[in-house]
């Protein structure tokens, strides 16, 4: 067996690994001035960030003044196109009845919020509910 064959296999394996790395993994965060879409995704629903209007249209809950996962004061219709105006990295911890759980009960985790502009509104929305169009 020539030395070329093992080298070729190694190069093919490396190329395949790079291809998998490029295709897989988490999406990078959205950037300021990037176009985005408000989505009532499975994660958004699971974290209580979606709702329905009386006419049954789906909405994503938002907050005008600051990043928040409760005490919302705005909403965006599902599938609304928006523009990211600001990005805020926060650390969240699970809560029960809006009272944070202790460090023994829950582990804090990083979370991104986006201040988005669209539908004549400017408000903060959780990363669970924002996607690339």
Instruction: List pLDDT tens digits, range 43-94.
Output: 999 999 999 999 999 999 999 999 999 899 999 999 999 999 999 998 876 6
d(Cα 7, Cα 133) in Å, to the nearest integer? Answer: 42
Q: What pTM, to 2 d.p., does this model score?
A: 0.73
In the structure, what pLDDT confidence band is assigned to residue 96 with cuts at 50, 70 and 90? low
Percentage of the chain exceeding pLDDT 70: 71
* 59 in Cβ contact with 44 (< 8 Å): no
Q: What is the pLDDT confidence band of residue 13, given thresholds at 50, 70 and 90?
A: very low
Mean residue pLDDT of the chain comes to: 82
DSSP 49: -
- Does the pLDDT at position 23 exceed 50? no
Q: Give the model's pLDDT for residue 22.
A: 39
Enter the DSSP assignment of 92.
E
* β strands within the chain, DSSP E: 35-38, 50-52, 58-62, 74-77, 81-92, 95-96, 99-100, 109-118, 121-126, 130-131
- Provide CB contacts within 8 A for 57, sequence distance 6+: 77, 78
User: Which residue reads 């928040």 in tokens?
Assistant: 68
Is pLDDT above 80 for 11? Answer: no
pLDDT at position 10 is 44
Got the DSSP string for 9-41? HHHHHHHHHHHHHHHSSPPPPP-TT-EEEE---
Domains of the chain (ranges, CATH numbers): 27-131 (2.30.30)
pLDDT for the residue 20: 37
């Amino acid at each position: 067996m020539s030395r070329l064959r093992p080298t070729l296999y190694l190069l093919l394996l490396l190329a395949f690994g790079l291809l998998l790395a490029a295709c897989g993994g988490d999406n990078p965060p959205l950037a300021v001035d990037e176009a985005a879409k408000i989505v009532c995704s499975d994660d958004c629903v699971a974290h209580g960030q979606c709702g329905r209007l009386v006419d049954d249209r789906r909405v994503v809950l938002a907050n005008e003044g600051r990043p928040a996962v409760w005490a919302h004061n705005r909403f965006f219709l599902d599938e609304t196109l928006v523009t990211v105006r600001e990005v805020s990295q926060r650390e969240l911890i699970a809560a029960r009845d809006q009272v944070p759980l202790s460090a023994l009960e829950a582990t804090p985790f990083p979370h991104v919020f986006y201040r988005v502009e669209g539908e004549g509104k400017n408000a903060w929305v959780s990363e669970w509910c924002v996607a690339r169009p």
